[in-house]
């Protein structure tokens, strides 16, 4: 259903719910403020770009989205991707990539791909999420330790090498500020759950460094100009070759934004007992990414932690997200001059906690509890996400998961001789009721390319003395092109051997498939029966007629 959830939620909207949404929206904005700054800076962008992303992204997704409670904005999953795009193609490249990603998401939503994305296997989502968590943490070590490195490489492996070479330049003040930030975020909830620990850490560490100027790097020393003004992008220098180069980056952003938004929406549904509209959510995320890019922001997706905070504080409609975006805009305008004072070590500490919370670390301990094939998919996705990039990790994981799934399905698909009566010799089951020189083969499950070879091997062993074969197909669910081709070869061989085939119990859909294929020359209506009993009677009638 392509209709924003907001329109549904406004029917019967009460003053009591508005007050709850208002409170939740304010709290979410307070949480989003330091996170948006930290995520933007760690991505290689200036702080205001993160705030603009949170404001525009949250507003558009709340206005047009398919979830009651989704809160959108910049997230940790994009840090490494955005950093690489900016390093290789500059901010202009990021803007173009994000706009193209938005268009891709809108197309996916219109084509109703929302339901398909939800079927990505759990080991893959945990694998790339944990891989991203590692890459985020590695990218923050420079500021956690206050290392003097002019430019960090984009690849995680290269970053580790660079960090190791520059360890002697460690700054103990930066280490202390980062540790203090982490400890406050961890333990502050025991003091107050209403005021976010991230905000407390931001204020306290900034005050400390204000009285110890010049000790460590701050946002002001890294970014000379910071303001919330909107500058529309200039596309005059964009060429077709530039767009082609940025297509992989656009697909990376679109895939991650789509997956994370829908995962967040699914988690939110579980918390409130709701039912989101996945295709509308994809379209809204696409529009939000285009909007964010046009005002100078970075990629947008659903933020699971902020969505959960919205729910826990009473938010139940998209109005909470709209209020959050508006309040965040007001706060950003008022506090923009003070942002320059925030230590980079503080932002690194915030993102270190984000990375830890992102990772599915329990999954590593489930080796003995999970099927080895699922664990292998998880490890492959995890390692490739770190060593190469997210898209390579996801696609490799999907390919391996698909191959393993096909193997499982082929193992469930069987072709076997279940009974026969060969010149009076009687076998098990109903062989005593079978006409002479008759065998019964049964095909079960999916008759697809994974099972076709098994069918060919089994049927090559058919007794040459058979004159009739009943092929029991009442438990065949689907037949693909490879299965049809294998069955055609089988029918051709049986026709050459003058063995009559009678197909028993096949579904109307699969029967139509056989008849449309090149099997019409071998099979007509006389070759099909509704059940095994009718097949036996038909063969017996042929034999009785021949003996007269």
Q: What is the pLDDT of residues 366-408, one digit of tens each?
A: 877 778 888 899 999 999 989 888 778 888 998 998 888 777 7
Q: From edge to edge, which strands make up the β-sheet containing 468-479?
A: 425-426, 414-422, 438-447, 468-479, 500-504, 528-529
pTM of the full predicted structure?
0.76
Print burial letters for 327-359: b (CB count within 10 Å at least 16), e (below 16). bbbebbeeebeebbebbbbbbbbbbbbbbeebb
From 25-29, 109-113, 398-402, 404-408, the region with the lowest mean pLDDT: 404-408
What is the 8-class DSSP label of residue 431?
A: G
Sign of CA dihedral 200, 203, 207, 208: positive
β-pairing, 468-479 with 528-529? unpaired
From 49-53, 221-225, 527-531, the region with the lowest mean pLDDT: 221-225
Q: Residue 65: phi, psi to the nearest 5?
A: -70, 170
- Concatenating the DSSP letter of every residue in 480-524 gives -HHHHHHHHHHHHHHHHTT-EEEEES--HHHHHHHHHTTTTTT--
Angle at 104 between CA 103 and CA 107, to 5 degrees: 85
pLDDT band at 463 (very low <50, low <70, confident <90, very high): low
The CATH topology of domain 413-547 is: Transcription Regulator spoIIAA (3.30.750)
Residue 171 has pLDDT above 90, yes or no: yes
**How far apart are alpha carbons 532 and 534 in whole angstroms?**
5
Distance from the Cα of residue 159 to its chain's centroid: 26
Which neighbouring-strand residues pair with 475?
444
Any idea where the domains of the chain sit in the sequence? 16-225+238-356, 413-547
**How far apart are alpha carbons 330 and 348 in whole angstroms?**
25
Average pLDDT for 172-180: 95
Angle at 157 between CA 155 and CA 161, to 5 degrees: 115
pLDDT at 412: 65
Task: State whether residue 212 is helix, strand or coil.
Answer: coil
The answer to whether the CB of 137 falls within 8 A of the CB of 352 is: yes
Residue 178 has pLDDT above 80, yes or no: yes
């Amino acid at each position: 259903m392509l209709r924003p959830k907001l329109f549904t939620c406004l029917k019967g909207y009460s003053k009591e719910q508005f007050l709850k949404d208002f409170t939740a929206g304010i709290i979410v904005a307070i949480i989003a403020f330091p996170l948006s700054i930290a995520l933007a800076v760690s991505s290689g962008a200036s702080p205001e770009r993160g705030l603009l992303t949170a404001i525009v992204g949250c507003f558009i997704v709340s206005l047009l989205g398919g979830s009651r409670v989704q809160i959108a904005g910049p997230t940790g999953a994009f840090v490494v991707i955005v950093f690489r795009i900016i390093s290789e193609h500059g901010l202009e490249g990021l803007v173009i990539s994000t706009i193209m990603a938005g268009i891709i998401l809108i197309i996916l939503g219109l084509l109703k791909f929302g339901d398909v994305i939800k079927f990505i296997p759990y080991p893959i989502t945990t694998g790339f999420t944990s891989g991203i968590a590692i890459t985020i943490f590695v990218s923050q070590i420079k500021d956690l330790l206050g290392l003097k490195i002019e430019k960090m490489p984009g690849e995680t492996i290269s970053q580790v090498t660079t960090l190791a070479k520059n360890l002697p330049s460690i700054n103990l003040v930066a280490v202390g500020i980062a540790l203090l930030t982490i400890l406050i975020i961890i333990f502050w909830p025991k003091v107050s759950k209403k005021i976010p620990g991230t905000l407390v850490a931001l204020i306290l560490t900034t005050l400390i460094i204000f009285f110890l100027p010049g000790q460590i790097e701050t946002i002001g020393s890294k970014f000379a100009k910071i303001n919330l003004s909107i500058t529309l992008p200039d596309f005059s220098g964009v060429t077709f070759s530039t767009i082609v180069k940025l297509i992989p980056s656009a697909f990376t952003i679109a895939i991650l934004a789509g997956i994370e938004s829908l995962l967040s929406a699914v988690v939110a549904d579980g918390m409130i007992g709701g039912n989101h509209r996945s295709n509308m959510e994809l379209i809204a995320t696409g529009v939000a990414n285009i909007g964010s890019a046009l005002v100078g922001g970075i990629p947008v997706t659903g933020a699971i932690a902020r969505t959960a905070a919205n729910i826990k504080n009473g938010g139940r409609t998209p109005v909470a997200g709209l209020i959050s975006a508006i309040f965040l805009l007001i706060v950003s305008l008022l506090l923009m001059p003070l942002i320059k004072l925030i230590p980079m070590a503080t932002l690194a500490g915030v993102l270190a906690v984000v990375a830890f919370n992102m990772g599915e670390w329990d999954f590593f301990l489930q080796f003995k509890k999970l099927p080895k094939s699922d664990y292998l998919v998880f490890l492959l996705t995890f390692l490739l996400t770190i060593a190469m990039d997210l898209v390579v990790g996801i696609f490799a994981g999907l390919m391996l998961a698909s191959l393993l799934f096909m193997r499982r399905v082929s193992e469930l698909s069987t072709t076997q001789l279940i009974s026969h009566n060969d010149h009076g010799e009687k076998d098990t089951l109903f062989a005593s009721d079978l006409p002479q020189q008759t065998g019964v083969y049964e095909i079960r499950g999916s008759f697809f390319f994974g099972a076709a070879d098994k069918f060919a091997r089994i049927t090559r062993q058919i007794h040459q003395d058979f004159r009739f074969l009943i092929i029991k197909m009442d438990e065949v669910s689907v037949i693909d092109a490879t299965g049809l081709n294998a069955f055609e070869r089988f029918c051709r061989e049986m026709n050459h051997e003058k063995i009559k085939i009678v197909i028993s119990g096949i579904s109307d859909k699969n029967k139509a498939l056989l008849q449309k294929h090149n099997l019409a020359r071998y099979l007509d209506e006389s070759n099909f029966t509704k059940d095994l009993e009718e097949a036996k009677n038909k063969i017996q009638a042929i034999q009785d007629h021949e003996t007269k």
